[in-house]
Structure 1
C-alpha cells in the first residue's frame, strides 16, 4: 500500500488544500514526469512536461473528489496512465483495464480456485475499496487512529472505550467470546485442558477481555455480535457478566 500512503495520499491532501508548494515538492521528488534526467533530456520541451504534470494533478483531484467515489484501482489506473508515480511491480496487473468478460468466463475453474487463495486475489479485493479509506488505513497502521486491535491496546488508557466483539469476523480459534459468555458450550478439548490444568480458549479470551475493558477510564461500551442475540443475553445475565439494565439487544 506504500504507493497510496506515501505518494498518492500526500499529493491528494496537498491538492485539496490548494498547497501548490507541497504539490510541486511531491511531484518533483517522486514523479517520473519531473524526474531530473527526464527534464534534462526534454530540453526545450520541459514546459510541456510541467503542463502534463499540472494537468495530471488536476485530473487526479477530480477523480478522487468525484461521484461515484473512486476505488483504489481507479486511482491506480489513472496514476499509471498519466505516469504520475511509478507503479510497483506487484500492482502492475491491476493498473490496466479489466479483461474481456468472455475471457474470464472461459477461465478454468481450478485456476480460479487457486487464484482465490493467492496474493493476487487479496490485492484484487483490497483495490476495490474506496480511495478515501486510504487515509483511515494510514492512520490505523501508524497508530494514530481511534481504532485498534484488542491486543494492540494493551497498556493504553482512554476516557471512553468501545469494545467490538465478533467471533465470526475474528475467524480464529485462540479466542472465543461465545464460550466465555456462556452462549456456547465448551468443546471436548476445552474440558480435557481444564481437567489437565492447561490453558483453555476461555482462559485466553477472559484475559483479552480484561485487557480491552480495563482501558476505559470513565465509560465503557461493549458491542457483542452474537448468532443468537436473545440466547446470548440470557447467558450474560445468568453468568453475571452484566446487569439487566446494562444490556440492549439490537436487531
Structure 2
C-alpha cells in the first residue's frame, strides 16, 4: 500500500519541516491499515502470532512506550541511536536491559530487567547465577533466610521501577547490591562527573554533551526502560529481529518509510534501482527480503513514504497490480 495523499513540499520549506508535516497523515494511514487488518482477523496483542516489522525509529519507540528515551539517544547519537539503544551496544542501555553478543547473537542476561524477569518466573537458580555473575553478592538461595532477604530486595526494586525515575532504580539496585557497574559504566560516570577546570572548550563541550545525555536518561520515568525491555524481548507486537533470518509469524505487516533512516536504507531507490550507494542498496534489499520472508500466511507491506511511478512499476510487478492499493 502506497500513499498519494501527502501534500507537495512548499518552495523554500526545509526538508525536515516538510517531513514532520506529513506525520499526522502517516499516522492516520498507519492506523487505518491496522484497523483494516484487525477486521480481517489479524491480532496485534502481546504474544500474538501476527507481527509488525518496522525499522527501529521514533515511530516504533513512541508506539512501544519508550519514545522519550529514544529521543534522548537520537540527540546524542543521530546516526547510531538504534545501535546504542535497540541493539543495546551502549553500556548505559546494557545496565538496564542487557546486551547481545555480536558474534553469536546470544543475549547476555545481565540487565536489571533480567533480574526482575527471573524473579517473575520464580527462577531462583537464575537469580543466584545473576547475582554471582554480576559480582554483586554470593548467596545460597536454598536457605530460607537468604531467599527472604533477596525477595524483599527485589520486591522493593519492582515497586521502585514502577513508580520512580531511572536514577532512583539505579541507586536502589546499587545500594542493595543487586548489580555492580560494568567498566563501561564506570568510565561513563567518571566522564560526566569530571572536573572541567583547565580543559579546552572542545573537551568541555564533549563532556557537557555526555552529561546532558546521562542526566536526561536518569531523569526519565523508569517505565520507559521497562517498555524498551519488552520491545527487545518481543513481548509486544513489534518485532526487533527482522534484520536477520529467524522467527516466522502467521501474518506480517512490514512498514517502510524512506524518511526514517536515510543513511542506512532507501526503499524507493532499491525498487527503481536509482540508489547510487551500493552498500545502502544491499542493506535495503536484505532487510526487505528477510522482513517479507517472515510471513507464513499473509504479508502486507505499508509504504509510508511516497513511491513514484518507476518504483511503483517494480512493486506491481513483484506483488501483482491487483494486490497494490494507493491511499488517495
Q: Is the 8 A contact 2:242 2:287 kept in 1?
A: yes
| CA displacement at 1:165 relative to structure 2 | 1.8
**Paired residue secondary structure (1:163):** strand
1:62 to 142, 153, 159: 159
Q: Is the 8 A contact 1:16 1:61 kept in 2?
A: no
Q: Distance in 2 between matches of 1:212 and 1:203?
A: 14
| CA displacement at 1:178 relative to structure 2 | 2.0
Q: Deviations over 1:42-76 (max 9, x none)?
A: xxxxx8x988755532321101223x6x43x5422
Q: Distance in 2 between matches of 1:157 and 1:208?
A: 15
- Relative to structure 1, the CA distance from residue 171 to residue 55 in structure 2 (aligned partners, 3 Å threshold; closer, same or farther) is same
**Paired residue secondary structure (1:132):** helix
- Relative to structure 1, the CA distance from residue 123 to residue 221 in structure 2 (aligned partners, 3 Å threshold; closer, same or farther) is farther
| CA displacement at 1:12 relative to structure 2 | 1.3
Q: Distance in 2 between matches of 1:87 and 1:62?
A: 22
Q: Is the 8 A contact 1:33 1:53 kept in 2?
A: no
* Residue equivalent to 2:138: 35
Q: How many residues align?
A: 209
| CA displacement at 1:177 relative to structure 2 | 0.9
- Relative to structure 1, the CA distance from residue 50 to residue 224 in structure 2 (aligned partners, 3 Å threshold; closer, same or farther) is same
Q: Is the 8 A contact 2:242 2:291 kept in 1?
A: yes
Q: Is the 8 A contact 1:64 1:131 kept in 2?
A: no
* Residue equivalent to 2:327: 249
Q: Is the 8 A contact 1:164 1:222 kept in 2?
A: yes
Q: Deviations over 1:141-181 (max 9, x none)?
A: xxxx962455413x7654322223233333435x4212234
Could you say what the CA RMSD is over the residues aligned between the two structures, in angstroms?
A: 5.0
**Structure 1, unpaired ranges of 5+:** 37-46, 191-198
Q: Distance in 2 between matches of 1:246 and 1:122?
A: 43
* Residue equivalent to 1:11: 115
| CA displacement at 1:90 relative to structure 2 | 1.9
* Residue equivalent to 1:172: 263
Q: Is the 8 A contact 1:237 1:244 kept in 2?
A: no
1:186 to 274, 279, 283: 274
**Structure 2, unpaired ranges of 5+:** 1-93, 99-108, 140-144
What pairs with 1:71-90 in structure 2 (closer than 5 Å)? 71=166, 73-90=167-184
TM-score by length of 1: 0.55
Q: Is the 8 A contact 2:97 2:229 kept in 1?
A: no
Q: Is the 8 A contact 1:180 1:205 kept in 2?
A: yes
| CA displacement at 1:209 relative to structure 2 | 3.2
TM-score by length of 2: 0.45
Q: Is the 8 A contact 2:258 2:266 kept in 1?
A: yes
**Paired residue secondary structure (2:244):** helix
* Residue equivalent to 2:301: 222
Higher relative contact order (CA 8 A, sep 6+): 2
| CA displacement at 1:27 relative to structure 2 | 7.2
What pairs with 1:38-187 in structure 2 (closer than 5 Å)? 53=150, 55-66=152-163, 70-71=165-166, 73-92=167-186, 110-111=202-203, 114=206, 130-133=224-227, 135-136=229-230, 138-139=232-233, 147-153=239-245, 157-172=248-263, 175-182=265-272, 186=274
